[in-house]
Amino acid sequence: MSDRQDVFAQVAAQIEPFNKKGVTLADGTSFAKDLEWDSLTVMDFVAAIEDEFDIIITMNMQAEIETIGQLVDAVLKLRAEG
């Protein structure tokens, strides 16, 4: 598996407790539209992702991340910078 596939699998595992509707996860899955998360759920999830990958996702970056694929790319970028 590639790094991206590994990160996607880890992100998907973090999403599961929050995936109340059992949405099938893909790169294009939207947190707001598909998963129907409110801002509190997003904050809890971001904290879980930051802990999992030992990264910091800034508020500006959070505002730009709308899909799982965008989050995976952001995690890869932040880990490369770290």
**31-48 pLDDT, tens digit each:** 999 999 988 898 899 999
**8-26 pLDDT, tens digit each:** 999 999 999 999 899 999 9
How large is the angle between the packed helices 68-81 and 3-15, nearest 10 degrees? Answer: 120
Name the pLDDT band for 1 (thresholds 50, 70, 90): low
Mean pLDDT of the chain: 94
pTM > 0.85: yes or no: yes
Question: How many residues comprise the chain?
Answer: 82
- Domain 3-81 CATH (choose: 1.25.50.10, 2.40.50.200, 1.20.1250.20, 1.10.1200.10): 1.10.1200.10
Q: What are phi and psi of 51, to 5 degrees?
A: -65, -45
Q: Map out the domains of the chain as residue ranges.
A: 3-81
Judge contact between 79 and 53, C-beta under 8 A.
yes
